[in-house]
Structure 1
Amino acid sequence: MTMKKRNNVRNIAIIAHVDHGKTTLVDKMLRFTSTMDVLQDERVMDSNDIERERGITILAKNTGVVYGDYEINIVDTPGHSDFSGEVERTLQMVEGFLLLVDSAEGVLPGTRFVLMKALQLNLKPIVLINKIDRKDADIERTESEVHDLFLDLAINESQLDFPVLYGSSKLGFVTKDPNIQTNSMEPLFEAILNHIPAPESTEDYLQLLVTNLDHSDFLGTIAIGRVFNGQINVGQQFVACKDDYVSKPMKITKIYKFKGLSKVEVEQASFGDIVAVTGFNEPVTIGTTLCQVDKPIPHDYVKIDEPTLSMYISVNDSPFCGQEGKFLTSRQIKERLEKELKTNVALRVDTSDTTDSFKISGRGQLHLGILLENMRREGFEFQVSAPEVIYKTINGIKQEPIEYLVLDVQEEHQGVVMEFLGRKKAEMKNMTHYDNGRVKIEFEVPSRGLLGFRGQFLTDTRGTGIANFSFLGYQPYKGDIITRTKGALVSMDNGSVTAYALDTLQERGTLFVAPGDKVYQGMIIGEHSRDNDLDVNPTKQKKLTNMRASGTDDAVKLDPPRKMDLETCMEWIQPDELIEVTPQSIRLRKKVLRASMRK
């Protein structure tokens, strides 16, 4: 078989640490090639509500532009290592990648993580130093950090030969010389055409690797993937193959290519094309290859990294169950988790000993938190246990997941932060002092040491610290770590919270509830200032006598309650506690509600 090439096609992934400008850059590339109307809103690639609110990319996206005679397929990937399942599966579809690095923030753990994944797949690199319009941009330092990172991670020498471009996604320009600002994206497109290889095919038979799944009520399952060999036509018969599995023959009903934000229907697609296809009457999973009926030969696919964190999700059995949610039963929760498994490749779900509880495992707190937040918004009610890290035994030694943590703090906060991390068994690897009075400190720290880290870190640095971390790998168990040092204030009564009761309770600790909130026995209403749990009555009313008017209650001065969102709760809770999640509320409670039973 002779080697075939499609010189007019390029496939490229855009990778970076979170918030370094990937999604904005894709917007500008669509506008520059007139693929999309200028009037549409910014960050068009972020389609999901949570992505727009948080300004992060969770799901990998596909788009395509036409530049002159060339078709360029672009994949926008997430930068959080929690969504590495998304990164790993999308990098399989491309020949090269564009690494974006923020000129002020420099190389961060996410940069290291996504670059390592791309170089392991032997993809061709282009580097773009972004945001050079920032006042605090340090282009020389960032460029030297990028070269050091490539030296550290490259698998062969050819990966060290890459073009470096400079630009600003926000202002929509890319240049070869950082001192010359243009108003064009042309240097970027020229670099893609000159440095990213064209797709090649070695076989004549069909191989289409599925890397993403979608669903439509009219067309059923939609498989998104790349044609690696041969070609595919509407009406053609095919089989789905994965490892030893081969499906019954099925028939392609529709093929779509990606152009801008829309899918364009086509009659056929050839090797090198990234397409969406329909026509499935049997289940298909990510990592499946669509093959000719007479040649069921699956294409290799990258194994996804294993989960590092697990928690239990179960039916809500609190006294308030069923008041706010639509979906309450274990069957509904199970169906929702099974649906998630089809597209969320890094998630694992195991049924536990009881029928109404499921163990979910993922790539980190954010990965699991986003799934729970999506379920809450869809109308589910459930409760979840404290997250636990997943240990492994390798060569008879207990090993635990380790994170690579990079902190950027003011010098005066350096001591208190390092002392806190010392208690969490963190090892300092590097420290850099900057002229502006800030310090960059790099650590290797056990994943379990970072549970509850965020809130304490923001307190210690008065909200001025920046923390970034990504999964590094497994290392031998580091020993016991002190977790939360304060107990809980637990309600011993059912009813409505009164200002009178909170007035006396607020000196005992930090409150999570406000007057008028409904509480039940065993619900956690605050954090005790000491290390033990304390049972309290937040519903206590003032005794009225003819000597005192009830109006003096107005003089009560309460501190505002601490807002506990889902992720803060995941960091805060202990193994004997649960988070109750409903569409309107997030509450904390003890697993055993009655105080006498807990003793």
Structure 2
Amino acid sequence: MSNIYNFCIIAHIDHGKSTLADRMLELTGTVEARQMKEQLLDSMELEREKGITIKLQPVRMKWQDDVLNLIDTPGHVDFQYEVSRSLQAVEGAILLVDASQGVQAQTLANLYLAVEQGLEIIPVLNKIDLPAADVPKVTEEILKILGGSADDILKISAKTGEGVEAVLDAVAQRIAPAQQPEGKPLRALIFDSFYDDYKGVVAYVRVFEGSIKARDEIAFLGTNVSDRAVEVGTFAPSWQPSKQLQAGEIGYIATGLKEVRNARVGDTITLASSKAKVEALSGFSIPQPKVYAGIFPRQGDDLAQLREAMDQLILNDASLQVTEERNEALGQGFRCGFLGMLHLEIIQERLQREFNLDLVVTAPSVAYKVWNMRGEENEVTTPAQFPDPTHIDRVEERYANITLLTPSKYLGAVFELMKEHEGDLLKQDHLDADRVQLEYRMPLRELVVDLYDQLKSATSGYGSLSYELGQWQRADVVKLTVLVNHHPVEALSIIVTRHKAEALGKRIVHKLKDVIPRQQFAVPIQAAVGGTVVARETMSALRKDVTAGLYGGDVTRKRKVLEKQKKGKQKLAKGGKVEIPTDAYLAVFKK
């Protein structure tokens, strides 16, 4: 067999990964010129529209006498788990850096992952044709991180194709060829899996030892499930069936399974006959959700369609967690766990586009650990689960360690922003005269909601951040309950830090006063922590002129009618229930 080189491209979002992959496909003749289009490997409509990669995508190319297997990975911080999956399956990585923007936070995060895996790194400087490109400065940045000499850094323009041939040559020269041991039983690592209507569950695999053919009896060591391989093949970039997959190759196995959870990412596939003799490859765990939100159909009739849509999304997205939930304001729906706000936004858009659903999405929250007075621990992801303060011994929340890169001139705005979000500065390094690297520690709840967007605004788009989860630490958080006409509205309750409860309570009750329709009686709107009211507004009653028909006569007649109206309003207020419209519920959580 010819040498096989397995590699991936890692970079910050929008540094040109998919464009470089396009040029490689053209140069290697993998895709005919008439079939070529921009972002060829980004097959989802949403990926093409937003100009970002969401799902990793493998492709097999031939260059001279060698086989090159490329995995194109996402660059956004929310999809870092996709990058870690692809790094398990390769021997080398192209580190792609935009010559006009320089090294960014996500570049560093992905580089550290690759170095931990012991991969060969090929540094490549992209977009050298742009007027804003500063090649000498960015070259210095890369050398400061990686070491080596400036000659090791390849300079290209993925858009025009300049220098891309040298990158393909470097892959074959610098990266170690995949080992192809003979005579060993099959061991293949699953790095992605999804459901196909015709082939069942399809597992994307890297074969480390042995070989597999269609119709072989296979076993999954992690989930302890067995089945027969329906088809095996490689990516060109569409599926290309082949007789067998051998050690060193990256390809797919159509497993015939009906559920994706049986072909778990990180699991090892072997032949059923050698199951007892084979040790599992070191896999990686399914990523844990960081943000939770409720998704409900605006019309109750759409619940069955939403349930079906959720089932389909779960089939292809192992990181999405879904459980059914009932909410008194919004009815039946789903409680979902996401990797971050972009992940939530993408799931929401896919539900609206692909399934034509009109949705209500509740305010996002994070997970808390709550210990009661008996010392029992519970995980809380919704305000409804948060116990009464008198039953709580202590609460812990997750912290995140953040690496942040920004131009020096925006430092003041960044410090101010991080202070607002309870960030503790741990370290400050000047990469050069113009750029600063900051390391912060902050609560995950402050990070996940809209810090990324606020950072981009504060730094005119030049700031970037990456993060990893840190320790659980004690938190001083409380449940802020909203009461309308003295009745608690569970759907509007949120978990907040104690020192922000009053300010947030005032904002919520003020907003509710504007959006809830006025009633025949005065309606008090309150925000309370435990039994203490921290904010209050009173919505005045609709006034009906009951004395309009009284002309002349004694003044006591008017007083009698007005007194009767007053008593009627008091009676209404005692038992009157105020219906809160869905739009009011949404308006509260929009900043």
Scaled by the length of structure 1, the TM-score of the pair is 0.69
2:249 is equivalent to residue 236 of structure 1: no
Paired residues of 1:391 and 1:401 also in contact (CA < 8 A): no
CA contact (8 A) 1:384 1:578 kept: no
Which structure has the larger Rg?
2
Q: Secondary structure in 2 aligned to 1:143?
A: helix
1:252 aligns with: 229
Hey, what's the Cα distance between the residues in 2 that align with 1:252 and 1:118? 31
Q: Map Cα deviations across residues 147-177 of structure 1 (whole Å, 9 max, x no partner).
A: 44347xxxxxxx9999421111112122xxx
* Candidates 404, 407, 412, aligned match of 1:406: 404
Deviations 1:336-365, CA, capped at 9 Å, x for gaps: 334333432333334457793433222211
SS at match of 1:312: strand
Q: Is structure 2 residue 29 aligned with structure 1 residue 34?
A: yes
The question of whether the paired residues in 2 share the 8 Å contact of 1:7 and 1:199 is answered with no
Equivalent-residue separation in structure 2 for 1:104 and 1:365 (angstroms): 27
Label 1:98 to 1:434 Cα distance change in 2 as closer, same or farther (>3 A).
Answer: closer
Amino acid at match of 2:356: G
Q: SS where residue 135 of structure 1 aligns?
A: coil
Equivalent position of 1:516 in the other structure = none
Distance 1:87 1:304, change over 3 A: farther
Q: Distance in 2 between matches of 1:209 and 1:478?
A: 40
Pairing 1:152-551 to 2, within 5 Å after superposition = 163-174=152-163, 185-202=164-181, 204-242=184-222, 245-248=223-226, 250-259=227-236, 261-281=237-257, 283=259, 284-285=262-263, 286-296=265-275, 297=278, 298-316=280-298, 321=299, 328-329=302-303, 331-352=304-325, 356-377=332-353, 378-391=355-368, 398-402=396-400, 404=402, 406=404, 408=406, 411=409, 414-428=411-425, 429-430=427-428, 440=436, 442-444=438-440, 445-450=442-447, 451-453=449-451, 464-475=460-471, 476=473, 480=497, 482=500, 486-487=507-508, 488=511, 490-493=514-517
2:567 maps to: none
Matched, 1:123 2:119: yes
How far 1:417 sits from its partner (Å)?
4.6
Q: Tell me, in whole angstroms, the C-alpha distance in 2 between the residues paired with 1:536 and 1:29.
A: 68
Gaps of 5+ in 1: 1-5, 152-158, 175-184, 495-521, 523-530, 538-576, 581-585, 592-599
Q: Contact (CA 8 Å) 1:213, 1:221: kept in 2 or not?
A: yes
The letter for the 2-side match of 1:103 is A
Instruction: Map residues 69-108 of structure 1 onto 2, 5 A cutoff.
Output: 69-108=65-104
Cα deviation, 1:64-118, whole Å, max 9, x if unaligned, reads 2111111101000001120122112222111111111112212211111211222
Q: Provide the C-alpha distance between the structure 2 equivalents of 1:103 and 1:348, rounded to a whole number of angstroms.
A: 38
Tell me the secondary structure at the aligned position of residue 371 of structure 1: helix
The one-letter code of the counterpart of 2:153 is V
1:12 maps onto 2:7 in alignment = yes
1:401 aligned counterpart, secondary structure: strand
Q: Does structure 2 retain, via aligned residues, the 8 Å contact 1:241–1:290?
A: yes
Letter in 2 for 1:385: T
Q: Which has the higher helix share?
A: 2
Alpha-carbon distance in 2 for matches of 1:163, 1:379: 50
Q: Residue 422 of structure 1: SS of its match in structure 2?
A: helix
> 1:28 corresponds to which letter in structure 2?
R
Q: Which amino acid aligns with 1:294?
A: S
| Root-mean-square deviation over aligned CA pairs | 3.7
The answer on whether the counterparts of 2:104 and 2:405 sit within 8 Å (CA) in structure 1 is: no
1:403 Cα offset (Å) = 5.3
Query: C-alpha displacement at 1:449, in angstroms?
Result: 2.7
Give yes or no for contact 1:206–1:292 (8 Å, CA) kept in 2.
yes
Residue 385 of structure 1 and its aligned partner are, at CA, apart by 1.9
Residue equivalent to 1:588: 586
What runs of 5+ residues in structure 2 fail to find an aligned partner? 372-376, 378-393, 477-496, 519-524, 526-534, 542-579
Residue 548 of structure 2 is matched in structure 1 by: none
Q: State the distance in 1 between where 2:587 and 2:253 align.
A: 47
CA distance in 2, matches of 1:341, 1:116: 30
What is the total number of aligned residue pairs between the two structures? 472
- Give 1:37 shift: 2.7
The CA deviation string for residues 159-215 of structure 1, in whole angstroms up to 9 with x for no partner, is 9999421111112122xxxxxxxxxx3321221111111111456111222222233
Task: Using the TM superposition, give the Cα deviation of residue 262 of structure 1 relative to its aligned residue in structure 2, in angstroms.
Answer: 2.4
Deviations 1:564-590 (A, max 9, x none): xxxxxxxxxxxxx9987xxxxx99256
Q: Which has the higher contact order (CA 8 A, sep 6+)?
A: 1
Whole-angstrom CA distance in 1 between matches of 2:453 and 2:536: 20
Task: Write the mapping of 1:62-73 to structure 2, written as runs, cut at 5 A.
Answer: 62-73=58-69
Q: Of 14, 18, 21, which residue of structure 2 is paired with 1:23?
A: 18
CA contact (8 A) 1:130 1:167 kept: yes
Further displaced range: 474-483 or 344-353: 474-483
State how far apart, in whole Å, the 1-side matches of 2:292 and 2:25 are: 39
Aligned-partner Cα distance in 2 for 1:230–1:42: 37
Give the secondary-structure state (helix, strand or coil) at the position aligned to 1:25: helix
Per the alignment, do residues 441 and 269 of structure 1 end up closer, same or farther by CA in structure 2, a change over 3 Å counting? closer
Residues 485-516 of structure 1: CA deviation (Å, up to 9, x unaligned)? 8552643349xxxxxxxxxxxxxxxxxxxxxx
8 A Cα contact 2:368 2:395, kept in partner? no
Partners of 1:23 and 1:587 lie apart in 2 by 40
> What is the TM-score with the length of structure 2 in the denominator?
0.70
Q: Aligned partner of 1:123: which letter?
A: L
For the 8 Å contact 2:3–2:178, the answer to whether it is kept is no
SS at match of 2:156: strand
SS in 2 for 1:466: coil
Q: Deviations over 1:99-145 (max 9, x none)?
A: 11112212211111211222222222111111122223233332333
- Please give the alpha-carbon distance, in whole angstroms, between the structure 2 residues aligned to 1:265 and 1:162: 41
SS of residue paired to 1:72: strand
1:138 to 121, 129, 134: 134
- CA deviation map 1:285-323 (0-9, x unaligned): 22332211121233321224432222223343xxxx26x
CA distance in 1, matches of 2:370, 2:153: 43
